[in-house]
Amino acid sequence: MIGIGNDHTGYELKMEIIKYFEENKIEYKDFGCGKQESSDYPIYAKAVGRALQKKECDLGILICGTGIGISIAANKMKGIRAALCHDCFSAEATRLHNNANVLAMGARVVGPGLAVKIVDTFLNSKFSGEERHSRRIQMIEEE
Ligand code: RB5
């Protein structure tokens, strides 16, 4: 199950990603926001983060204008490793090396075509499980 959340700037891009989920029969849960004038991105970062912490979702996608605020908010949460990626190389590498469980993107940074490719790459890449990467992730968790 993929959890997806966004602020007002990310609504249209989210709908493009939802179209990709539906075309590819990928199960998702939409944590908002819906179409609205203004919204606070930490609300949606926390909603998706909590769903991951409770294991209601396996991975998350977060979108704000830059992807920065929403990834900062998500990364404050225990067990959340949110990676801000605007290219496919990073989206793959962050799954392989960091076992990132959230992909963050900026709707004002990437167009929908690239964003969907980045999502596809992220979802289809797996953590390598290599000891050195596990060790480093453990060190992050220790604070
Ligand atoms: C909203 O204007 C904007 O600040 C937000 O979407 C995001 O880019 C914050 O990091």
Taking the C-alpha atoms of residue 87 and residue 8, their distance in angstroms, rounded to an integer, is 23
Q: Does pTM surpass 0.85?
A: yes
pLDDT 10s digits, 79-102: 999 999 999 999 999 999 999 999
Q: Whose CA is nearest to atom 6 of ligand 1?
A: 65
Band of residue 37 on the pLDDT scale cut at 50, 70, 90: confident
Q: Which fold has domain 2-141?
A: Ribose 5-phosphate Isomerase B; Chain: A, (3.40.1400)
Q: Which atom of ligand 1 is nearest to the CA of 108?
A: 8
- Which atom of ligand 1 is nearest the CA belonging to 106? 8
The residues carrying an active-site annotation are 64, 97
Report the interhelical angle of 88-98 vs 112-123 (nearest 10°).
Answer: 20
Contact 29, 57 (CB under 8 A): yes
Q: Is the CB of 7 under 6 A from ligand 1?
A: yes
User: For residue 36, what pLDDT band results from cuts at 50, 70 and 90?
Assistant: confident
**CA dihedral in degrees (91, 97, 102, 107; nearest 10)?**
-30
Q: Where are the domains of the chain?
A: 2-141
pLDDT at 122: 98
CA distances from 58 to 16, 36, 103, 110, 132 (A): 20, 27, 12, 24, 23
Beta bridge partners of 121: none
Q: Is the pLDDT of residue 143 over 80?
A: no
